[in-house]
Amino acid sequence: MDGNPRGPAHPRSASWAPLGDPEIDAVLEAEFERQMTTLQLIASENFASPAVMAATGSVLTNKYSEGYPRRRYYGGNANADTAEQLAIDRVKALFGAEHANVQPHSGSQANAAVYLALLDTGDTVMGMSLDQGGHLTHGSPVNVSGRLYNFVSYGLTRSDERIDYDAMAGLAREHRPKLIVAGATAYSRRIDPVPFREVCDEIGAVFMFDAAHIAGLIVGGVHINPVPYADIVTFTTHKTMRGPRGGTILCTQEYAKRIDSAVFPGSQGGPLDHAVAAKAVGFAEAARPEFAQYQARIVENAAALADALGSQGFRLVSGGTDNHLLLIDLRTFDADLTGKVAQEALDAAGVTLNRNSIPDDPRSPFVTSGLRMGTPSVTTQGMGPAEMARIAEFTSRVLRAPDDEDVIATVRAEIAELCAAFPPYDR
Ligand SMILES: *Cc1c(COP(=O)(O)O)cnc(C)c1O
C-alpha cells in the first residue's frame, strides 16, 4: 500500500500522496486546482483544516461501532469510544448543552432523527418555508419530512423581509404543531429564539433550532446561542463550523434517550468513526480564541461584501446581512437576468456560488431571480474587506456582460491572481 496508512499526506504540504488510481487522482488534482484558483462563495462550504481532513482519512474508517461509547454491539471499540466521548464532551462544552449525539451522518440525518424521536407520521410541525429561506428538511414536499409529516410554513414580512415572528406565533396558535423548527439555509439576518420559545411554551410544543448554517457564528459568540432556549439544536459540522461533513444533535436530558435511539438504531447503522474523530478535532479547533476572531471576520466580510454589491447596483434581500451570507435580488440590476444564467457566467469566470430563490420569486426554483453568496471560505483563506470589494466588482463586471467571453476570461485571470495570494492550502 502506498502513502501514509494513518491518513493522507498533510494537505498543506506539496507532497499529497497519489492514490495510485490514475482516474481518481486526476479528479483530486483537478478539484485541488479548482479550489486553489477560483472563489468559493457557496455559503454552506468551507475549507476544513488539514487536521480535520487527516482524521477523516484515518484508520477509523475501518471500524464498526454500532451503539454508543461503552455500550457497543461489536468488540474492539476502546479507541472509537475515546474518540466519540471526546467529540461529545467537546461539543457539549462549546455550546453549554446537556446532551450531544455526534453520530448523524449529515444535517439531514440529524433532522430526520429528531422527527423520528418526537413525531408520529401525520403530526403537525412548523418550519420556515423553503422559498423564503427554510431548508428542504423543514417540510418540503420532495423531502421525507414533507412526505411523512404535516408541515405548516411561516415566512418573512413583505415590508422588511425578515422572519415574521407575529405571523409565526399566530400560525402556531391556529395549527397547534407538536414541534416548531427555527433555522434557515438562505436567510441573512439574526434568528431570535425567544419568540419561538414563548409560543412553544404557550401551546405546549417542542422547540427545535436547526443551526446548520450558523453553528460557527454561535460558537464564536457572534450570534445568540439557542441552546438555553431550544429543547433540541441540530447543526452541520462542515459549514461555518469548518469541521468534517456531518451532523450533530444537542438536547436537554429530557430528550436524550429518545434522540439517541432515533439516531441508532432508529435511522442509522454504524457511525462514521473517522468522521466522529474529525468532529472532535473540529470542536477542539472551535474552542480556540482564534475561532471567535475568525467568526467575527466572516460577518465583517459579509457586511463589506453587501456594501460593495450595493454600490455596484445590486439589491439585497432584507437590505443587507448580519451573518455569513447574503441574497442578491437580480431583478433591479437586470430584469432579464436569471439566477441560472448569472450562476453559469460567474462559474465560468471563477466566482463559485449558487442561484437561489428570493422571496416571492416569479421564476421556478430551477431558474430563480437570485444568487446566494457566503464568506466562510474566503475568510478562511485570509481575505478581508478590500478583497470583498474586488469580489463585488468582479461579480458586477461579469453580470453586466454575461455572454462576453473576453470579460469572463479577463476576470478569471484576475481571480486566479487574487486566489494565489490567499492559498487555502500549501502546494
Ligand atoms: C445544510 C442544511 C441542512 C442539511 O445538511 P446536509 O449535511 O446537507 O444534509 C439542514 N438544515 C439546514 C438549515 C441547512 O442549511
In this predicted model, what pLDDT tens digit does every residue of 192-203 receive, in sequence order? 999 999 999 999
Q: 9 vs 17, 31, 63, 416, 427, CA distance in Å? A: 6, 16, 21, 25, 12
163, pLDDT greater than 50: yes
Architecture of domain 55-286: 3-Layer(aba) Sandwich (3.40)
Ligand 1 center to residue 49 CA distance, Å? 20
**All structural domains of the chain with their residue ranges:** 55-286, 290-420
User: Sorting pLDDT into bands at 50, 70 and 90, what band is 18?
Assistant: confident
- Residue 401 has φ and ψ, to the nearest 5°, of -145, 65
Average pLDDT of 222-226?
97
Is residue 336 annotated as part of the catalytic site, yes or no? no
Q: Is the CB of 135 under 6 A from ligand 1?
A: yes
DSSP 99: E
273-286 vs 78-95: helix crossing angle, rounded to 10 = 40
Percent of the chain past pLDDT 70, that is, above it, reads: 96
Q: What is the pLDDT of residues 261-288, one digit of tens each?
A: 999 999 999 999 999 999 999 999 999 9
Ligand 1 center to residue 236 CA distance, Å? 6
221, pLDDT greater than 50: yes
Is residue 322 annotated as part of the catalytic site, yes or no? no
Q: What is the pTM of this model?
A: 0.95
- pLDDT at res. 71: 97
Residue 254 C-beta-side C-alpha neighbours within 13 Å: 7
Q: Is the CB of 211 under 6 A from ligand 1?
A: no
Best residue among 236, 245, 267, 325 to mutate for probing ligand 1, ranked by most atoms within 8 Å of CB: 236
3, pLDDT greater than 60: no
Give the other-Cβ count within 10 Å of 122's Cβ: 8
User: Sorting pLDDT into bands at 50, 70 and 90, what band is 17?
Assistant: confident
Architecture of domain 290-420: Alpha-Beta Complex (3.90)
Ligand 1 center to residue 411 CA distance, Å? 32
Best residue among 42, 108, 111 to mutate for probing ligand 1, ranked by most atoms within 8 Å of CB: 108
Ligand 1 center to residue 210 CA distance, Å? 8
Residue nearest to atom 5 of ligand 1 (CA): 107
Q: What is the pLDDT of residues 25-76, one digit of tens each?
A: 999 999 999 999 999 999 999 999 999 999 999 999 999 999 999 999 999 9
Is 290-420 the same fold as 55-286?
Answer: no
99, pLDDT greater than 50: yes
Q: 183 vs 115, 215, 228, 392, CA distance in Å? A: 15, 11, 15, 27
Q: Is the CB of 213 under 6 A from ligand 1?
A: yes
Is residue 258 annotated as part of the catalytic site, yes or no? no
Sheet of 206-210, strands arranged across:
99-101, 247-251, 232-236, 206-210, 179-182, 124-128, 150-154
350, pLDDT greater than 80: yes
User: CA 119, 111, 90 angle in degrees (round to 5)?
Assistant: 120
- pLDDT at res. 16: 61
Average pLDDT of 157-183?
98
Atom of ligand 1 nearest to the CA of 106: 7
Q: Taking all residues of the chain, what is their mean pLDDT, rounded to a whole number? A: 95
Q: List the catalytic residue out of 189, 239, 242, 412.
A: 239
Q: What is the pLDDT of residues 365-410, one digit of tens each?
A: 999 999 999 999 999 999 999 999 999 999 999 999 999 999 999 9
